């Protein structure tokens, strides 16, 4: 819609320059905005102010010239200048009816665009360790990542959703030990054996109740195969547990597989589906991609030896505070080494844009990955990191205690089950992701006007209900009937529907899904008053038909928007 207006301005300026009325032939990047007040027309542009320094004339003088030209356009009712040099454009109703027609014609396609130009995007999100259930923070990341995938897709990108699984390293050992400890308990092992093992853990084990469930399943599985728990495991040192002992390896494999399945189940129920799960272990076997990556970094001179360790030149590459270690003095690779290799692999797979959705506490890590991209000869701006701030869970305004240490953190599952996936996702998408989010469980559940989820969904259900009530009156209407929509509220509603395209485009370009949430809340805030003021189904068949079309377009836009958020658009509530 705005491109049409912009083109109109461009033509006017071009014509003026041909006539010699102004000097500038090609426009700077002008802004077209929807006017905030009726007296400022439908759209306003700052073009005259931007031309002022080039033309060396007062903005109002230039504005007057342009306004005069624009006023002659076919779809323009009136065009004048105001304030410091704004040009206010008043469009004829026909313009808005043509937009309405377009929305009805495009249906589910309305809102899609091609700013992405088919670029291949790898969107990595959630990437939780397979050592426990997803908590509420992961939920926010999941909601944001998934909505972003949908939005980028709608804006013409080719999106791949990936979950990076940290299935090797210290924390899966901790997982194994934790499960083993619960196994000993369940077997009612001698007190001194349990205490001895617990002593060795030095409080470094997962304490959540789910560990016990996994332990129970594991024992049952062993029993089913006629095997018993390997008692020797309790004597082994912590670090090399699974490397030197096949029983330990089996236990860890079982536990992390079990927990990853649980994570997948949570995500599926949350409406999030990944295109792929990328295993960190797969970077080491069957091919050792990490070693290959490190070798290439050495070759290119971006990695160097010092103090017995191997370092990546992150200071030189990305202005990091210090260089970072890839291989420790003891020969072990760091987590960063894996991650650098992983990102090289992403690039090798031919993606144009890499988007990572990370917890905000990882922001110090950004420079390191950016450095890696640069070391591989890629533009570091290919990488875009979306940081997710904390979620503060409240109940009736009172904070819900969250202490991961004691294993009593709130899981996504609990919240999802309590408030429903629609409300849960919508709430996660209400704020921009780098702002802390207050999530009130009672508010999310409440079926009251203060709950924005239902406010939007209700508008959709209402329209569907009206259409059901209208029955055949809604059918078989030709486009000309639309000009029966004479009410200011109706034109205003169409105007807002038209803005959906821009909301989606902006959400995609800025990678800010919350813009869609806001847009929908505003749209519902325009529809509900319209519904209350004007009756759709009346004795006048023509007007009824026209209004049904308007409502239908509104329902379409709401449904399209909610779909982008991964929230349902119910026909009945």
Contacts (CB under 7 A) with RNA, residues 330-359: 330, 332, 334-336
Using CB under 7 A, which of 17, 98, 160, 171 touches RNA?
171
Task: Check whether the bond before 286 is cis (ω within 30° of 0).
Answer: yes
**Cβ distance 211 to 252 under 8 Å?**
no
Which among 362, 381, 380 is positioned nearest to 371, based on CA atoms? Answer: 380
Site string for RNA, 277-306 (x = CB under 7 A): -----------------------------x
**Is there binding between residue 370 and RNA (CB under 7 A)?**
no
Site for RNA in 534-553 (CB under 7 A): 534-537
Using CB under 7 A, which of 190, 362, 384, 486 touches RNA?
362
**Is there binding between residue 444 and RNA (CB under 7 A)?**
no
**Is there binding between residue 572 and RNA (CB under 7 A)?**
yes
- The DSSP string of 488-521 is HHHHHHHHHHHTHHHHHHHHHHHT-THHHHHHHH
| Angstrom distance (rounded) from CA 495 to CA 95 | 10
Which range binds RNA by CB under 7 A, 8-16, 36-44, 292-300, 401-409? Answer: 36-44
**Is there binding between residue 431 and RNA (CB under 7 A)?**
yes
Site for RNA in 460-499 (CB under 7 A): 461-462, 464-466, 469-470
Provide the pairing of β-strand 276-279 with 158-165: parallel
**Is there binding between residue 322 and RNA (CB under 7 A)?**
yes
Would you tell me the crossing angle of helices 452-470 and 514-533 to the nearest 10 degrees? 50
Tokens of 436: 């802390």
User: Could you give the residue ranges of the DSSP H alpha helices within 300-365?
Assistant: 314-318, 335-348
Which among 272, 264, 284, 285 is positioned nearest to 128, based on CA atoms? Answer: 264
Nearer Cβ to RNA (250/309) = 309
**Is there binding between residue 571 and RNA (CB under 7 A)?**
yes
**Is there binding between residue 458 and RNA (CB under 7 A)?**
yes
Backbone angle region of 226, left / alpha / beta, with phi > 0 → left and psi within -120 to 50 → alpha: left
Smallest gap from Cβ 489 to RNA, in A, equals 9
**Is there binding between residue 308 and RNA (CB under 7 A)?**
yes
Nearer Cβ to RNA (182/462) = 462
**Is there binding between residue 528 and RNA (CB under 7 A)?**
yes
| Angstrom distance (rounded) from CA 44 to CA 34 | 6
**Is there binding between residue 324 and RNA (CB under 7 A)?**
yes
Which among 37, 131, 129 is positioned nearest to 86, based on CA atoms? Answer: 37
Smallest gap from Cβ 53 to RNA, in A, equals 7
**Is there binding between residue 203 and RNA (CB under 7 A)?**
no
Using CB under 7 A, which of 187, 238, 296, 389 touches RNA?
389
Which range binds RNA by CB under 7 A, 118-126, 147-155, 189-197, 508-516? Answer: 508-516
């Amino acid at each position: 819609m705005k491109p049409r207006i912009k083109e109109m301005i461009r033509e006017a300026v071009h014509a003026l320059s041909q006539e010699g009325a102004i000097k500038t032939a090609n426009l700077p990047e002008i802004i077209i905005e929807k006017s905030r007040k009726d007296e400022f027309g439908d759209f306003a542009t700052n073009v005259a102010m931007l031309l002022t320094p080039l033309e060396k004339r007062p903005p109002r003088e230039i504005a007057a010239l342009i306004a005069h030209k624009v006023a002659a356009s076919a779809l323009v009712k009136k065009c004048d200048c105001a304030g410091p040099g704004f040009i206010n454009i008043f469009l004829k109703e026909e313009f808005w009816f043509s937009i309405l027609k377009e929305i009805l014609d495009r249906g589910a396609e309305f809102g899609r665009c091609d700013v992405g130009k088919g670029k291949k995007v790898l969107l990595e999100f959630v990437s939780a360790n397979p050592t426990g259930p997803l908590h509420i923070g992961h939920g926010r990341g999941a909601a944001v990542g998934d909505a972003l995938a949908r939005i980028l897709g709608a804006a013409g990108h080719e999106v791949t959703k990936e979950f990076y699984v940290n299935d090797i390293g210290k924390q899966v050992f901790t997982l194994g030990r934790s499960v083993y400890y619960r196994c000993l308990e369940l077997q009612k092992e001698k007190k001194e054996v349990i205490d001895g093992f617990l002593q060795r853990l030095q409080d470094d084990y997962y304490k959540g109740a789910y560990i016990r469930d996994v332990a129970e399943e594991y024992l049952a599985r062993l029993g089913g195969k006629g095997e018993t728990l390997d008692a020797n495991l309790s004597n082994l040192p912590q670090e090399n547990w699974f490397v030197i002992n096949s029983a330990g390896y089996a236990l860890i494999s079982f536990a992390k597989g079990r927990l990853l399945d649980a994570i997948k189940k949570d995500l599926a129920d949350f409406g999030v589906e990944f295109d792929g799960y990328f295993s960190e272990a797969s970077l080491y076997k069957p091919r050792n991609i990490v070693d290959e990556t490190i070798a290439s970094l050495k070759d290119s001179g971006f990695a160097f030896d010092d103090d017995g360790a191997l370092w990546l030149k992150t200071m030189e590459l990305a202005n990091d505070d210090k260089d970072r270690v890839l291989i420790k003095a003891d020969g072990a690779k760091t987590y960063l080494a894996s991650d650098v290799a992983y990102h090289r692999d992403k690039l090798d797979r031919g993606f144009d844009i890499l988007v990572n959705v990370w917890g905000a506490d990882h922001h110090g890590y950004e420079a390191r990955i950016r450095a890696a991209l640069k070391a591989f000869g890629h533009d570091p701006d290919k990488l875009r990191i979306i940081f997710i701030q904390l979620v503060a869970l409240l109940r009736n305004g009172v904070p819900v205690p969250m202490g991961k240490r004691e294993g009593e953190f709130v899981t996504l599952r609990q919240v999802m089950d309590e408030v429903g996936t629609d409300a849960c996702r919508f709430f996660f998408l209400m704020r921009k992701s780098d702002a802390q989010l207050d999530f009130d469980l009672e508010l999310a559940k409440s079926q009251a006007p203060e709950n924005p989820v239902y406010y939007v969904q209700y508008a959709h259900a209402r329209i569907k209900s009206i259409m059901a009530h209208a029955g055949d009156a809604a059918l078989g209407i030709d486009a000309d009937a639309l000009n029966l929509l004479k009410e200011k509220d109706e034109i205003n509603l169409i105007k807002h529907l038209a803005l959906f395209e821009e909301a989606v485009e902006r959400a995609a370009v800025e990678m800010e899904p919350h813009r869609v949430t806001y847009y929908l809340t505003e749209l519902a805030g325009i529809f509900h008053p319209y519904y209350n003021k004007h009756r759709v189904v009346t004795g006048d068949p023509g007007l009824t038909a026209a209004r049904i079309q308007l409502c239908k377009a509104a329902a379409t836009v709401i449904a399209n928007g909610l779909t982008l958020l991964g929230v349902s658009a119910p026909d009945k509530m």
